[in-house]
Chain A
Amino acid sequence: MKIHEYQGKVLFQKYGINTPKGIPAFSIKESTEAFKTLDTSPVVVKAQIHAGGRGKGGGVKLARTFQEVEKLANDILGMKLITPQTGTHGKEVQRLYIESGADIDQEFYAAITLDRNKEKDVFMVSTEGGVEIEKVAEETPEKIIKIWVDPLLGIKRFQASQLAYGLGLKNDAFKEAVSIFLKMYNCYLSTDASLLEVNPLVKTKDDHIVALDAKFNFDSNALFRQNEILKMRDLSEEDPYEVEASNFNLNYIKLDGNVGCMVNGAGLAMATMDIIKLAGGEPANFLDVGGTANAETVKNGFRIILADDNVKAVLINIFGGIVRCDRVANGVVQAVKELGLKVPVVVRLEGTNAKEAQVILKESGVSIIPAIGMKDAAERVVAAAINNGDK
């Protein structure tokens, strides 16, 4: 789960990490009021969307006067902000953050994330702040300083010092950086974050260390114990069908293809998408119905897949382990009867009670295309999609 920068800064303030003063704004009026309340100049008007690279797309601008804030708010609110991370469609800006400008002396990069290979959190800093860290990692990897945190010990003070030394900091700025790195790790740990990135983290001209950005990702598996974070979820940043699917415990991701698919198990679902592509089609979605595929899940899955007009045929691929194929077959029949068959449906059922399932599908009278094995299923559904698309 992601949150906005202004929400991240609320967390930073809670954990004692310095940030400039700022106020979120949902309208032009709120933006100018924020400017008045902050009572400082310049301010930065920042688009709040769940994607990085906002500055490049024209979503972060400096303003010195009431009128400038008003004009920028008018320009940015409602715009489709396109950044390297949003894709070509861009994202509509619905929220702004009006923040006091900072007197910057030096810009740094700081981030904490899980290193999957080492199975430890890695804390990275770099003197190359304000630019794309991927580029730094590729071109001048020696400019990224890393420490790994022992999961049983947590971060130690000497490690935070190592990071601050690495940035070449001295005296008060050094002490403040050490303290901020320790607080950053505490914040990361306490919120079950999977990524905490500050780019840039700056040293101001009066020797303070201040976070000018706050990017968070959170471990979805830990949200059950993170009520404060869960309240920050902004559903308007997510695909509405993906949100609806998650309400039914379905794991759905929308793609751009013409062949819908409904599968039990994430690995098999990915492999089904892949084999649709190999057979000459394009998958329209990822959909894992999980370990409890019944009439209700099948029906909801169908509805969500078919809401996408690009879908010209649907493949249902179930390998019954604990899930019984006869139950799935009954679910398919019931769903088709209730929702009607708008597109051809190919069904492949294997595993527990597969034979009984074939009989149910055959005797139901609904016109489902049965398939045996994944190759056969993929070829049939792609042929059906092409046939249907030509109509």
Chain B
Amino acid sequence: MSILIDKNSRVVVQGITGSEGQFHSEQMMEYGTNIVAGVTPGKGGLKTLDNTIPVFNLVSEAVEQKKANTSIIFVPPPFAADAIIESALAGIGVIVCITEGVPVRDMIQAKEIVKKNNSTLIGPNCPGVITIDECKLGIMPGFICEKGNIGVISKSGTLTYEAIDQLVNVGLGQTTAIGIGGDPVIGTTMKDCLALFEKDTDTEGVVVIGEIGGQMEIEAAQWAQQNMSKPIVGFIAGQTAPPGRRMGHAGAIVSGGDDTAEAKMRILEECGITVAKSVADIGELMKNIMNTK
């Protein structure tokens, strides 16, 4: 078992003929992802990636003709929200949007449409989702992962890799790792991901990596305190970030209330989450918890 995606996911790549789309589609197929179609408006009828993958003008055509049920988006920021809405209206169940720099105005509309159509959106501005040894839907380096029993949820790309690397170094593999994205408005929240991992029978523990800005970590921790039976190790990046400055991610900004790293770490701890004060301790802390279970 795993969450969101597995070897049966039938993937359509939106923006498949662009350079990012081409490169990462190759990498995903190499990992074993079942890419069944691509979409680039105006290039329908072509075949790409060594003549193996049909290209359509519309996502709905990929759904009808190739039974695509999952999509990944490599579309430039001005058109990314449109691509999300197209997928949701075409009935795609899981949509992953990698694009960084989507206007927040576009995102709050796209998210409403995704909700109304009962789709699940991951991202934008994220590295994607990987179910180890089954399906990679994103841009993360698959080779650093090992199959196991830990779920990973993170707002940051390279920090996800760092956590996975530490887990592997202490002998812990992963079920699924999800980069949820660093924008102020994202499709799937930490709480949503925790709920999915709680239900997944293979996942025995979860690493949650948050950062300054917003209330998502707090919402997730409070939910976990009431509903989560599995242990969680948490880390919050940005302990040294100055207030009012946007730290790379559009959503990573201290703007008042409990959105500092300090406040989030305190509340996570109050909710029973094991908090890593140093990023270097994530793997060790999870190992200690797993050993004493």
Residues on A facing B (Cβ under 8 Å): 85, 114, 116-117, 119-121, 134, 150-152, 189, 192, 194, 219-222, 224-225, 251, 253, 255, 263-278, 283, 286, 288, 319-322, 350-352, 373-375, 378
A218 to chain B, nearest CB (A): 10
Assess the B78–A225 pair: CB atoms within 8 A.
yes
Q: Chain B contacts of A269 at CB under 8 A?
A: 247-248
Chain B residue nearest to A279 in the complex (CB)? B278
Interface size of B by Cβ–Cβ distance < 8 Å? 60
Give the CA-CA distance A228 to B77 in the complex, in Å. 19
User: Is B41 at the interface (CB under 8 A from chain A)?
Assistant: no
Can you pick out 26 interface pairs between chain A and chain B where the beta carbons lie within 8 Å of each other? Answer: A85-B244, A117-B219, A151-B109, A151-B111, A152-B112, A152-B113, A192-B103, A192-B105, A221-B77, A221-B101, A222-B103, A225-B103, A253-B245, A270-B212, A271-B162, A271-B235, A273-B241, A274-B240, A276-B240, A286-B248, A320-B141, A321-B140, A321-B161, A351-B161, A352-B143, A378-B280
Give the CA-CA distance A194 to B183 in the complex, in Å. 13
Assess the A267–B154 pair: CB atoms within 8 A.
yes
Assess the B247–A286 pair: CB atoms within 8 A.
yes
A125 to chain B, nearest CB (A): 19
Give the CA-CA distance A376 to B105 in the complex, in Å. 42
Give the CA-CA distance A126 to B240 in the complex, in Å. 34
Main secondary structure of the interface of A (DSSP, over half): mixed
Known A-B contacts: A116-B215, A224-B78. Give 7 more (CB < 8 A): A120-B108, A192-B105, A267-B155, A267-B159, A288-B248, A351-B141, A351-B161
Chain B residue nearest to A194 in the complex (CB)? B104
User: Is B158 at the interface (CB under 8 A from chain A)?
Assistant: yes
Q: Which residue of A85, A275, A320 has the most chain B CB atoms within 10 A of its CB atom?
A: A275
Assess the A219–B162 pair: CB atoms within 8 A.
no
For B104, give its contact among A221, A264, A352 (CB under 8 Å).
Answer: A221
- For B140-177 the 0/1 string (1 means CB < 8 A from A) is 11011000000000111111111001000000000000
Give the CA-CA distance A277 to B237 in the complex, in Å. 12
Assess the B156–A265 pair: CB atoms within 8 A.
yes
Residues on B facing A (Cβ under 8 Å): 77-78, 101-105, 108-109, 111-113, 127, 139-141, 143-144, 154-162, 165, 182, 184-185, 209, 211-215, 219, 235, 237-242, 244-252, 256, 261, 277-280
Assess the A270–B238 pair: CB atoms within 8 A.
yes
B239 to chain A, nearest CB (A): 4
Assess the A116–B162 pair: CB atoms within 8 A.
no
Give the CA-CA distance A221 to B182 in the complex, in Å. 13
Q: Chain A contacts of B127 at CB under 8 A?
A: 321
Assess the A352–B141 pair: CB atoms within 8 A.
yes
Give the CA-CA distance A194 to B255 in the complex, in Å. 13
Assess the B252–A270 pair: CB atoms within 8 A.
yes
Give the CA-CA distance A348 to B263 in the complex, in Å. 30
A219-B103, A221-B101, A375-B278 known; A266-B161 Cβ under 8 A: no
> What 10 pairs across the A-B complex have the smallest Cβ distances?
A267-B156, A266-B248, A265-B158, A267-B159, A222-B103, A375-B280, A270-B237, A268-B158, A271-B279, A321-B141
Q: Which residue of A152, A265, A271 has the most chain B CB atoms within 10 A of its CB atom?
A: A271
Q: Chain B contacts of A255 at CB under 8 A?
A: 240, 242
Q: Chain B contacts of A189 at CB under 8 A?
A: 105
Chain A residue nearest to B110 in the complex (CB)? A151
Give the CA-CA distance A351 to B169 in the complex, in Å. 13
Q: Chain B contacts of A319 at CB under 8 A?
A: 158, 161-162, 165
Q: Chain A contacts of B219 at CB under 8 A?
A: 117
Chain B residue nearest to A256 in the complex (CB)? B242
Assess the B182–A266 pair: CB atoms within 8 A.
yes
Q: Chain A contacts of B109 at CB under 8 A?
A: 151-152
Assess the B247–A351 pair: CB atoms within 8 A.
no
Assess the B250–A267 pair: CB atoms within 8 A.
no
Q: Chain A contacts of B213 at CB under 8 A?
A: 116
Q: Chain B contacts of A225 at CB under 8 A?
A: 78, 103
Give the CA-CA distance A192 to B155 in the complex, in Å. 24
